[in-house]
Amino acid sequence: MAEWTPKTRLGKMVFSGEVTTMSQALATKLPLREPEIVDALIPDLKDEVLDLNMVQRMTDSGRRVKFAVTCVVGNGDGFVGIGRAKGKEVGPTIRKAIDNAKLNVIEIKRGCGSWECACGSAHSLPFTVSGKSGSVEVTFKPAPRGIGLAVGDVAKSILHLAGVKDSWGFARGHTKTTVNYALAVFDALKRTSEIRVSETQEKALKIISGPAQIHQDVISAEDLQERGA
């Protein structure tokens, strides 16, 4: 953090301590252009390579080889991002894809939206969401606790890093195209943050946005105030 010299307005706000959480950073609506911002606000971020392809092209000087990498990052608690990159070497290209994924981080909503479950914890999705990319269209539905992630392998990796523990999943199209499948899943998760919900729905479906720990701390503080009253 000491070696990082912020160049953007949001970066300077994070560096000075004016913005202390990722939720606050996204709420500013300022463009996220420095991966160091995400490193500072989400220190426990994990990453995974979803797809790695070697692309060859014949030129007058010979055959040129490049690598196309798709990566996903997430903290397993409400934040997830997907990024892609191309390069001549595998290692630097993967690091570039991870940095691009950090710049695409979003905050998702979770809840207990299944009518079969009334556990009161945000383990699944609060409602049905759909996403599309290319020919691939995916739909995720809330599932009761204990079902797990009944989805494809690519979707399972993204949902796991996003913090969703239980969900039903349905997909149509050419799902073997990993990039489009991953982008469709990311598009569906993005819809959870775009859909507006009322306070009544939040309480009924136990909807939380972002890290669950923050909401637990808020609820505990409210309980203490009620007991004191």
Domains of the chain: 9-107 (3.30.160.20), 109-209 (3.30.230.10)
Mean pLDDT of 185-206: 88
Query: Of the candidates 214, 206, 74, which has an alpha carbon nearest to the alpha carbon of residue 145?
Result: 206
Taking only the tens place, the pLDDT of each residue in 84-100 is 999 999 999 999 999 99
Do residues 156 and 80 make contact, with C-beta atoms less than 8 angstroms apart?
A: no
Taking only the tens place, the pLDDT of each residue in 17-63 is 999 999 999 999 999 999 999 999 998 999 999 999 998 888 777 88
- Eight-state DSSP code of residue 18: S
Determine if the pTM surpasses 0.85: yes
CA distances (Å), origin 38, targets 29, 103, 114: 15, 8, 32
Our measurement of the distance from residue 101's CA atom to the centroid of its chain's CA atoms, rounded to an integer in Å, reads: 9
- More confident site: 156 or 226: 156
Q: Provide, rounded to the nearest whole percent, the portion of the chain with pLDDT above 90.
A: 69
Q: Could you tell me the two tokens for 158?
A: 């993204």
Residues 33-66: b if buried by 16+ CB within 10 A, e if exposed: ebbbbbebbbeebebeebbeeeeeeeeeeeeeee
Taking only the tens place, the pLDDT of each residue in 114-170 is 888 878 788 999 999 999 999 999 999 999 999 999 999 999 999 999 999 999 999
Residues 6 or more apart in contact with residue 204 via CB below 8 angstroms = none
DSSP E strand boundaries for 122-210 = 129-133, 136-142, 149-150, 167-172, 208-209
Do residues 134 and 177 make contact, with C-beta atoms less than 8 angstroms apart?
A: yes
